[in-house]
Structure 1
Amino acid sequence: MARTGRRPGQTQTREGILAAARNQFAERGYGGATIRGIAAEAGVNPALVHHFFGSKDQVFVAALNLPVNPAVIVDSILAGPRERIGERIVRLFLGLWQQPETRAPFLALLRSVANSPEVAQQLRTFMETAVLAKVAAALDLPTLRLTAAVSQMMGLAMVRYVLAAEPMASASDDEVAELIAPVIQQYFDA
């Protein structure tokens, strides 16, 4: 009979789950990895994975050390009137890139995606299920419109933060929001 409760002594359970999750995501991709598979590889009960991380999305965020929780992004996008969603998205995006604790990981992630088809596939599947599908369903919006908005924001990130092309790189957040938010808003005004 299996013992219940916490393992005796010093525990490395959380780190073991993260290592197993990285392995599972690498081998099976985001779509193929499961909480049960991660738990089995880590030698723990699936409930323990849920205890430490909550959901598969949150395990993925922790395993790949993503700089932001997708639930926070979805909630921020959906909070407020639809006619201001373009501005909310642009300001959220700019805010995330301004913070040192999220900027460096975002840069590393962009470079990894550009250089690794496996990482790109995992991130794409994750974004499709954890963010895009949820926002599209909540707003009754075709996913093509939403991915078009995302492509605009990725272009902004490349020009402003990776290439540091002037005058976009040194423009104020207000200037950028004034230019870009109306373009993003068009995707939501179906």
Structure 2
Amino acid sequence: MTAPTTRETIVAVAQELFAERGYTATTIKDVADRAGFSPAMVMKVMGSKAELYAAAAPSDLPADESAGSGGAIGLTLVRTIVERRDAGEAERWAMLPFLIHEAPVPESIAAELRERYLRAISERISDTSPDRITSQLVIALLLGLAGTIRTLGLLTPGDLPSEDLIRGYGALVQSVVDGDA
């Protein structure tokens, strides 16, 4: 396995910081300090804070969410979000609205992310319809779940065991995927 490039390191750190703090509160110096480079190096590699943000914005879904594996995809998608919460990992679904609103050009980032997520989910659930309404509904459900458990702090493991949440909400997402909702 090869070591990450300077650019990959900078982008990975920027993703963490933008997710934690948003665009406005994250500085090039913050990224440089955490990545172990000088601010001048970050600027040389990335060009500008806006370009760094564009490179760091969530792209396609991670392999565990976008790769085909058969079975109940609704359960798989929900399990990924809940398990990340339980592990204390960053949640890209919960951060999407914040990343868009904090972006230097929100409309541009929103359009780009909308298309990326629609493409990834429609491929994952085999939604070939021109309007991809089923994919849009699945995305809405996943954004809602992520925002509820991460931003509002509802449905904690103390309130509802994680497996119960995964089963119940996974069934809801699956019913949309299957066209039963």
Answer whether TM exceeds 0.5 for this pair. yes
Q: Give the letter aligned to residue 136 of structure 1.
A: S
* Alignment match, 2:62: 72
**In 2, Cα distance between equivalents of 1:117 and 1:24:** 11
Q: What displacement does 1:122 show?
A: 4.0
* Post-superposition offset of 1:72: 2.0
4+ aligned runs moved over 6 Å, structure 1:
none
Please point out which of 112, 121, 144 is paired with 1:126.
112
Letter paired with 1:169: T
| Aligned partner of residue 102 in structure 1, secondary structure | coil
Computing the radius of gyration from Cα coordinates, the structure with the larger value is 1
* Structure 1 residues 118 and 188: CA distance shift in structure 2, 3 A: farther
Residue 92 (structure 1) aligned to one of 80, 101, 121:
80
User: 2:141 & 2:94 partners in 1: Cα distance?
Assistant: 17
CA positional deviation for 1:161: 2.0
Q: How many residues align?
A: 137
Q: Residues 167-178 of structure 1 correspond to what in structure 2 (within 5 A)?
A: 168-170=155-157, 171-178=160-167
- Root-mean-square deviation over aligned CA pairs: 3.5
136-145 vs 151-160, greater mean Cα deviation? 136-145
% of aligned pairs identical? Answer: 12
Where structure 1 has 5 or more consecutive residues not aligned to the other structure, the ranges are 1-9, 27-58
TM superposition score normalised by structure 1: 0.55
Task: Supply the AA of the counterpart residue of 1:23.
Answer: A
Q: Is the Cα contact below 8 Å between 2:94 and 2:147 reproduced in 1?
A: no
- Give how far 1:84 is off: 1.0
Matched, 1:136 2:122: yes
Separation of aligned partners in 2, 1:145 and 1:123: 22
- State whether residues 86 and 181 of structure 1, in contact with CA within 8 Å, keep that contact through their aligned partners in structure 2: yes
**Residue range with higher mean Cα deviation, 125-134 or 180-189:** 125-134
CA change 1:18–1:97 in 2 (3 A) is farther
The secondary structure found in structure 1 opposite 2:72 is: helix
Cα distance in structure 2, aligned partners of 1:130 and 1:94? 22
Shift of 1:150: 1.2
The answer on 1:184 being equivalent to 2:181 is: no
